[in-house]
Amino acid sequence: MSASLFGVAVVFVVCVAGTRPPSRRLFAALAGGLVFAAGNVLADLLAAGQRWWWYPQWPGRGYASPWWYAAAGLGVAGLSLVGWRIQRRYGIPGAVAFVVGLACYGLLRDRVVSTTVGRDLLRFGPGPVPWLVDWAAWLILAALAMATQQLLAGRPDRRAAAE
């Protein structure tokens, strides 16, 4: 897990360096990442209860290691800064495309992990419903992360006072 957390920290630093956010925006992005991580735990608990997906290493618990959620939150915090820049440039359509793209990435990542190297870490139930719910969870949580950032740091507009 430490390698994964290190990798996510690198992604976060690259996103911060590439987007150059003001401190208020940076802290708002971190708060959005925290919202994402907390929502991720809730989604995992719901999914485990429905047998949509679960973590075999932690049977009966319904959620993964807290480090997984910390890594997910930090990664989304960094990526949400990219989303902020996209929304500044392309407006709401850009933000929607970013959130949908992030949800598609999340679904693909979960698919690859659960069928390859992480087969013993993450398992999905049969049929399309678990995958649709996974995508919807990524979509909703990514949108909440972006909304949290905007709520705390203001509109991603070039003319906004927070920028």
Percent of the chain with pLDDT over 70: 94
61 φ/ψ angles, rounded to the nearest 5 degrees: -95, -35
| Banded model confidence at residue 159, pLDDT cuts 50, 70, 90 | low
As to burial, measured by CB atoms within 10 angstroms (0-12 exposed, 13-18 middle, 19+ buried), residue 28 is buried
Q: What is the pTM of this model?
A: 0.92
Mean pLDDT over each residue of the chain, to the nearest integer: 93
Structure-block tokens of residue 44: 């995992």
Q: Tell me the C-alpha to C-alpha distance, in Å, between residue 130 and each of 81, 101, 147.
A: 29, 19, 25
* Range in 2-6, 97-101, 142-146 with the lowest mean pLDDT: 2-6
The per-residue pLDDT for range 124-134, each reduced to its tens digit, is 999 999 999 99
147 has pLDDT over 70? yes
Mean pLDDT of 53-57: 93
What's the rounded mean pLDDT across residues 41-55? 97
Judged by phi (left if over 0) then psi (alpha if -120 to 50, else beta), residue 125 lies in beta
When pLDDT is averaged across residues 120-143 and rounded to a whole number, the result is 97
Domain spans of the chain?
A: 24-153
